[in-house]
């Protein structure tokens, strides 16, 4: 699976009910992903994104 496809799949399946703040972050990260040249860079970026956004979601849910 291409990194951009993995990114879109993760967003659609795991973040569909995300807050506007997280949706904004996802949009910014999507734009950054599209600027990366190699597939290896994109894969590393998506892996980091999944970990990072998971931590943000956990923080938000623990504060609520």
pLDDT at 44: 98
Global pTM reads 0.86
Token pair of 48 as six digits: 């980091």
Residue 56 has a pLDDT of: 85
pLDDT at 34: 96
pLDDT for 64 equals 60
Which regions of the chain are under pLDDT 70? 64
Largest CA distance in the chain: 39
- Decide: helix, strand or coil at residue 47: helix
DSSP run (H or E) holding 39 = helix 39-63
Is residue 42 within 8 A of residue 3, CB to CB? The reply is yes
> Quick one: how far is CA 31 from the chain centroid?
11
């Amino acid at each position: 699976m291409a990194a951009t496809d993995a990114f879109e799949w993760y967003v659609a399946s795991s973040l569909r009910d995300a807050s506007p703040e997280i949706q904004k972050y996802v949009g910014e990260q999507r734009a950054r992903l599209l600027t990366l040249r190699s597939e290896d860079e994109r894969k590393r970026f998506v892996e980091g994104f999944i970990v990072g956004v998971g931590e943000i979601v956990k923080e938000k849910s623990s504060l609520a």
